[in-house]
A and B are shown apart, each in its own frame.
Chain A
Amino acid sequence: MEQLIISFHTATEAIEVEDICRKQKISGRLIPVPPDIKADCGLAWRTDPGNREMLKKALEGKIVPSGWDLRECRY
């Protein structure tokens, strides 16, 4: 199952993204950052790839993530 993994510079940003997504009803959850992603704030947002545009719009002017990666997730 392909998933979109969004990484951040700080954990504060990650928690803020969770907050934004909950308010705007964008599905997803916080996960530990996969080890090969360099910008390691400890937390990443995992969501369905179809949410990419909606998320970009929601974060515009608020947060600039350090990465948007597509990953094959086993569960």
Chain B
Amino acid sequence: MIYFNCAATSFQRPPCVAEAVLRAMNGFGNASRGTAEAELDAARSVFRTRKELAELFGFDAPERVVFTANVTEALNMALFGLLNPGDRVVATDWDHNSVLRPLYQLELKGVQLDFIHADRSGNLILEEAQEKITEGTKLVVCTHASNLTGNLLHLKKMAELAHRHGALLLADAAQTAGTIPISMRDAGVDILCFTGHKGLMGPQGTGGLCVGRNVEIRPLVLGGTGVQSYLERQPDEYPTHLEAGTLNGHGIAGLGAAVRFILDTGVENIHHREMELMRGFLDRIQNIPGLRTYGNIHGDRAAIVALNIGDIPSSDAADFLMEKYGIATRAGAHCAPRMHRALGTDKTGAVRFSFGYFNTEEELDIAAEALRKLAETWSS
């Protein structure tokens, strides 16, 4: 199979990831639940992974790298733990349902919600950010890169705007963690939510959030932490404040191995390679009749290309690619309803190609040939 659905998960991972998970499953106890060597090995692995994630994200407080099962849980934790009735939050049309659904739920409870809209080309209308991020805004939520078009948001500019009005900036790095350089310190990001299994190339079931020292989040989940057992509330200290219950120690071991691979390889090098693949793909498909892409395909971006050919339903196109060529893509709405409405693709959906570090030029050739054939088949 040729896997061009890397925005959904990484699929091809460095071998060290599975090896680390296996070692952990065969040797780890429960981190923070005892002091036998097996427990300490698990705790050491979790500790090391926190530190390396902090290094990767340019974050100065490794003890505030909190592990969750995925980025959706991390986002829920941040949104429900920060916002109260009457608070004002500004999000964007680029946001994924993992942000939108919690926000709609919070809106029902009295949180004031506003959006920075995207135009018909998928670009965020940044003048709206100036108008909507005002005094009294508590939080600005933005996805670092659209999971549909791959377009990038300038985090530093958003953080400056948010901070000028006393708001915090929460960045959803679901599509960029591990593939695009991020420095929370330089950009001024207050909370960064990440998933472990996409660009970070770790196992599914891993993710988390980096919570700046200036931010206080109410725990979403309460329970055992292995520490301060006689305390009736959740301990105040991070990371246990937000980590009730047993951690995914096996998954985190795999994530740690993946992060070490990324740090050794260099995020810049990974980004460069993915851009090379994406540009190679765009070059190969540019003359296919009836093919149109979405969003701004120029400039720095995530390695994602959304497209349609003529009026072919995206589900038919994705099925053709898989059935005839063994190419995995993703059709439909991609959990990005506001972005599809902005682009006018809410009826048809789009076929999303998303590239990863381990894809090859030969695979791009086959994909371009497959799309050419699809266009011919449909027009004949």
Contacts from A to B (Cβ < 8 Å): 9-13, 15-16, 18-19, 30-32, 40-43
Q: Does B25 contact A (CB under 8 A)?
A: no
Bound-state Cα–Cα, A15 to B226, Å: 14
Chain B: interface size category: 20 to 34
Q: Mark B40-61, 1 if CB is under 8 A from A, else 0.
A: 1001101100100000000000
Of all A-B residue pairs in the complex, the 9 with the closest CB atoms, nearest first, are: A15-B47, A41-B227, A11-B32, A10-B237, A9-B237, A32-B35, A12-B63, A42-B227, A42-B226
Bound-state Cα–Cα, A23 to B333, Å: 51
Q: Which residues of A contact B43 (CB under 8 A)?
A: 11, 15, 43
CB contact list, B17-55 vs A, under 8 A: 31-35, 40, 43-44, 46-47, 50
Q: Does B337 contact A (CB under 8 A)?
A: no
In the complex, the answer to whether A19 meets B47 with C-beta atoms within 8 Å is yes
In the complex, the answer to whether B227 meets A11 with C-beta atoms within 8 Å is yes
In the complex, the answer to whether A30 meets B47 with C-beta atoms within 8 Å is no
In the complex, the answer to whether A31 meets B35 with C-beta atoms within 8 Å is yes
Bound-state Cα–Cα, A35 to B78, Å: 34
Name the residue in B31, B40, B46, B227 with the highest tally of chain A Cβ atoms < 10 Å from its Cβ. B227
Provided the pairs A15-B43, A16-B47, A31-B35 are in contact, do residues A40 and B239 lie with their beta carbons within 8 angstroms? no
Q: Mark B153-194, 1 if CB is under 8 A from A, else 0.
A: 000000000000000000000000000000000000000000
* Contact pick for A42, options B32, B46, B63, B239, CB 8 Å: B32
Name the residue in A11, A13, A18, A32 with the highest tally of chain B Cβ atoms < 10 Å from its Cβ. A11
Bound-state Cα–Cα, A31 to B235, Å: 21
When C-beta atoms are compared, the residue in chain B nearest to A9 turns out to be B237
Q: Which residues of B contact A42 (CB under 8 A)?
A: 32-35, 226-227
In the complex, the answer to whether A12 meets B35 with C-beta atoms within 8 Å is no
In the complex, the answer to whether B227 meets A10 with C-beta atoms within 8 Å is yes
When C-beta atoms are compared, the residue in chain B nearest to A13 turns out to be B63
In the complex, the answer to whether A11 meets B238 with C-beta atoms within 8 Å is no
Q: Which residues of B contact A19 (CB under 8 A)?
A: 44, 47
In the complex, the answer to whether A18 meets B229 with C-beta atoms within 8 Å is no
20 A-B pairs in the complex with CB atoms less than 8 angstroms apart = A10-B63, A10-B227, A10-B238, A10-B240, A11-B31, A11-B227, A11-B240, A12-B63, A12-B239, A15-B40, A15-B44, A15-B46, A16-B47, A30-B40, A31-B35, A40-B228, A40-B229, A42-B33, A43-B32, A43-B35
When C-beta atoms are compared, the residue in chain B nearest to A16 turns out to be B47
Bound-state Cα–Cα, A61 to B32, Å: 24
Q: Mark B227-246, 1 if CB is under 8 A from A, else 0.
A: 11100000101111000000
Q: How far is the CB of A66 from chain B (nearest CB, A)?
A: 10
In the complex, the answer to whether A10 meets B226 with C-beta atoms within 8 Å is no
In the complex, the answer to whether A12 meets B50 with C-beta atoms within 8 Å is yes
Bound-state Cα–Cα, A32 to B40, Å: 11
Q: How far is the CB of A36 from chain B (nearest CB, A)?
A: 12
Provided the pairs A10-B239, A10-B240, A32-B35 are in contact, do residues A40 and B227 lie with their beta carbons within 8 angstroms? yes
Q: How far is the CB of B71 from chain A (nearest CB, A)?
A: 22
When C-beta atoms are compared, the residue in chain B nearest to A15 turns out to be B47
Q: How far is the CB of A24 from chain B (nearest CB, A)?
A: 17
Q: How far is the CB of B366 from chain A (nearest CB, A)?
A: 47
Provided the pairs A11-B43, A11-B226, A15-B43 are in contact, do residues A32 and B63 lie with their beta carbons within 8 angstroms? no
Q: How far is the CB of B230 from chain A (nearest CB, A)?
A: 8
Q: How far is the CB of B39 from chain A (nearest CB, A)?
A: 9
In the complex, the answer to whether B44 meets A18 with C-beta atoms within 8 Å is yes
When C-beta atoms are compared, the residue in chain A nearest to B62 turns out to be A12
